[in-house]
Structure 1
């Protein structure tokens, strides 16, 4: 069986986290989320972790060279020999080119890039639908989990609700636009390399996974 070395892509709200869990459970690949490896590198005080911490502590973006170094350190570990799945990396073309070089050096080439595609308008609706009861903090979603009686909290009966700033439609829209700009060149890059598989993320979770499963079983 071919070792699966994957990159998982998708805009915020596309359901990457859910699908990542399912892929790991069935195909036993190591899930490498950049957030997790940054935290681990800083906690363990690795050379690259110390470097990253300097930028994060100042509220700055970590430069590509440091991010690439942290990812390469992680991919060099033995548990990735049986396959890995990168989530949150690469985020731009420079990182994609660096990933090519490091996977060639480690002899662990990427053999599929799964892009979970959902229409941005749908994502804005998904991500900006959350609201919270002002009195007791119960969380609702206008599409997936509305109160039983409109305008009344199921838990405490109060009628005042609010939205967190990062759930507001304009904030969500901006986040989606920024991520679309970053993702588009990457999609072209991996498409040219014949590694890209786009699945329809705007369907039931299990149906999305069936599409992913079909791709991975064929590799």
Structure 2
């Protein structure tokens, strides 16, 4: 039996109530933020309880939720509205503390998550990858990390990549696909995974798809993080990086515990050489030119969803609810809900 656990165990939502929720499903198109629609196909699965609790929290002004409150009482139209309402810091506190879901193991007829994140430099792909990995126990496959690790371990593919880089060339698509192929074989066919950093071009996408079809693990979800360019430019001005690990901090949205130092190692943070407006605008332009064909490619495959927002905290709840609705099976059979508790009003 698969259990969807949200925070501390409290009252148990009945199977009947959750089945009623199942009629409210998550849909989206390629050009707009995902919304809840009661007319969508039932096979989209059940809606996340977290969205209902965020709506209730906002409705009651950040105070204690009534003990009798049940997610099954929320109307679909109210949920649609709540998804486009900015999430306050107190609501985010409720979300972050109560939504530590662990994605259930794949069951028969329920394919594992095979996810690709696409977004401009500075759109927050690394931040979202970390949150998904932490909340859902998804294996993250970072093409950059794979490349560095194989070069450091002096593997056969790593030697080829190192030679290409030494000659001043980019690492070939063939080498990158081989690295990812090797990693997928290590994980096995029944593991959830998220691909970060690859593909970035149409030729890479087609090479990747050919390999994934051969190993019978095709992508089943592509999330496009749509963040306004002016927001991204402001982000990179506030961005500091721990070079050895790749951990990224933002002095506004995600500051380090000690200014200028990495939270884990205590080592010095640095700026990336190209983190200046002039250079970054060129990077963004090149990204848009290469990404638009990619988005069209995955849109035609009907696996693309675009999620919009100015901050990672605005976008992540949408990602969270999407993954719950599609990849957490048998929600109606065994779900536990945290007892309402007091949240400080802003």
Q: Give me the TM-score of the superposition, normalised by structure 1.
A: 0.79
In 1, distance between residues paired with 2:216 and 2:293?
25
In the other structure, the counterpart of 2:288 is: 180
2:319 matched residue in structure 1:
212
Query: Cα distance, 1:79 vs. partner?
Result: 5.1
Residue of structure 1 equivalent to 2:17: none
- Structure 1 position 65, deviation (Å): 1.5
CA contact (8 A) 1:128 1:172 kept: no
After superposition, where does 1:38-117 map in structure 2 within 5 Å? Answer: 38-78=147-187, 81-117=190-226
Distance 1:78 1:164 in 2: 32
Q: 1:202 aligns with which of 310, 316, 322?
A: 310
Cα distance in 2 for partners of 1:44, 1:167 equals 30
| CA–CA distance in structure 1, aligned partners of residues 149 and 172 of structure 2 | 18
Shift in Å, 1:143: 6.7
Contact kept in structure 2, 1:10 and 1:16, CA below 8 Å: yes
Secondary structure in structure 1 of the residue aligned to 2:190: helix
Which consecutive unaligned segments of at least 5 residues does structure 1 have? 132-140, 146-153, 156-162
Q: What RMSD over aligned residues (CA atoms) do the two structures have, in Å?
A: 2.6
Residue by residue, what CA displacement relative to the aligned partner does 1:91-134 show, whole Å, maximum 9, x if unpaired?
A: 11111111211111111121100111112232123213569xxx
Q: Which has the higher contact order (CA 8 A, sep 6+)?
A: 2
Query: Matched residues in 1 for 2:166 and 2:121: separation?
Result: 24
How many residue pairs were aligned? Answer: 195
Q: What are the ranges of 5 or more consecutive residues in structure 2 without an aligned counterpart?
A: 1-105, 241-249, 261-270, 327-346
Distance 1:22 1:129, change over 3 A: closer
CA distance in 2, matches of 1:79, 1:21: 21
1:192 and 2:307 equivalent? no
Give, in angstroms, the shift of residue 51 of structure 1. Answer: 0.7
Distance across 1 between alignment mates of 2:239 and 2:147:
29
SS in structure 2 at match of 1:7: strand
Equivalent residues in 2 for 1:142-181, closer than 5 Å: 165-181=273-289
Partner of 2:140: 31
Q: Distance in 2 between matches of 1:106 and 1:142?
A: 42
Larger Rg: 2
